[in-house]
Structure 1
Amino acid sequence: CPHTMPLTSLLHSPLLLVLSTLVFIATKYPIFAQDNPCKNVPFLNSGSADITPLTHATNYQVDLAGGNRFIFNLCQDLNQKCEGQSTKSIEQFAGGECYRMSGSGFSDVKFQELDETTTLMTYTGGQKFHSTHTLATEIALVCDPTIDGPTPKIKYTGEKGPVADLMLTTVEMRSALLCPGGGGRPLLWPFGILGLFLFLACIGIVLYFIVGFIVQLIRKKRGAEISKLELIPNFKIWKELIKLEWEGVLFVKETIILLINKIRRRAQPGGLHGLENY
């Protein structure tokens, strides 16, 4: 009979659960994907820009006439669905009805370089409009060094089309972060990628101890001989680690004392001779 690991054995390793949680969180944010085209947006004769810092955690919104709204995001699906489907841009009417203006993911993202400061970003893959045209979104990305900081200037510029069977809703976005070679603080996390990593690491440590404590408590209630200190997950490992760290501290302390004594001997008359016999 082949050896199999029961579910309870997996639960005895709360670190595995914590790592799984962190992996799940990381996969929720495609901003970190290596194949993200928004990391290398071309501008005519002036290089490229990484526009992922402008990905918004709660979407961009432009108010239209009659209480309607145009909602979109850069390089990431909206945190709301339209007719049960994910999308990067929608037009939502005052009555609650919505139209998908793009598909999901990166497959429908296209760029067209206009000049050194402007590139058109087009989302295709929207739904059919009156069974004749396909809805789409066109975002003019404009490098504007005068608009610094994490908040871009957005202007609704109307509808255009049909163009090659596409009915386009167009907006203009201006920011210094859209300039070639630029970049800035991601709106996803105010302290950047490193800050996000440290934040997730802290959450992981807290989850590790909470989940581990609960697992150990369940085992104790089921009859396992577990002391109060052993309710701490992997208590023996942490105990040994603390012991090793303390031994390291003592080693450093003894080394420093030894060096101080050598310096004192050297400073005393005949110290060099004394060192030879040390």
Structure 2
Amino acid sequence: MTNLSFDDAISKLSDEDVKVRKEAIESLVGITDESAIEPLIKATTDDNAQVRFKAAEILGNMGEMAVDKLIEEFSNAEGKNKRFLAFALKETENSKVVPYFVEATEDEDFGVRKVAVRALGELQAADELDSISRCLQDEDWGVRLAAIQSLGDLATDESIKAIKDARKAEKDEDFKKSCNKAIKKAQKRQKAKASGKSVVKVIPMSTIKEWEKTNMQKAIKEYERYVESKQAKDAPYKRLCVLYRKANDYDNEVRVIETAIEVFADNDKKLSYFEKRLAKLK
């Protein structure tokens, strides 16, 4: 991480030297200041791909705070400049972006179409099955593949049928393999849902722990996935408690502890840790 102040980092995002801009964007990782949104949106059109991607990632991690401005910019953008705004919108994981991604599945830019259809799957937009399925006829192979992956994410009988139909109509063996993989994923999700389990994609703990050093915001977001799915590992809950304590976020720490107490009700050792922590907060 760099040591630039917030104001210096914002100012240097427009520097002529790409090395300076890279340093500036790294200094803004994890930022939650609303005044950074517009400069970061501008940075998604930077000449350097690393700066563009990192700006979009930061905006996406800002979530609800940035989503409305991102939607506005996305709706007015064109061509390649729209691609990284699409990625940022996808990363917000906000359901209000669904209608904009539905429209974007017909965008002139293949990169935008690809992100849009992939986002519809990740956002579990089951009502948009037709829009996703239309992308199976796209001229771009990458868009068609993204549509298959999204249908796999939906994991419904209808989406699985759409994958099978696409597999039957396709001659490319690599595409057929992707279809098979998506079908297996969808069927696994269906079984999990049928058994009452929450289906949430989680990242390895070791990776998230490293993010604590470089991108606290993203680390919290990924630990929360473990809590959301009520995983039987106590480490994510403990790390979240520590991070929320550092941020003086009492309400979220209590929420995580109470969820952990519910999850580990039958494990006296793990339960004791969270009960003691909660008692100290009251």
Q: Verify same fold: TM over 0.5.
A: no
Greater helix proportion: 2
TM-score for both structures, normalised by structure 1? 0.25
Higher RCO (Cα < 8 Å, 6 or more apart) = 1
- Larger CA Rg, structure 1 vs 2: 1
Q: Which has the higher strand share?
A: 1
Q: If the length of structure 2 is used for normalisation, what is the TM-score?
A: 0.24
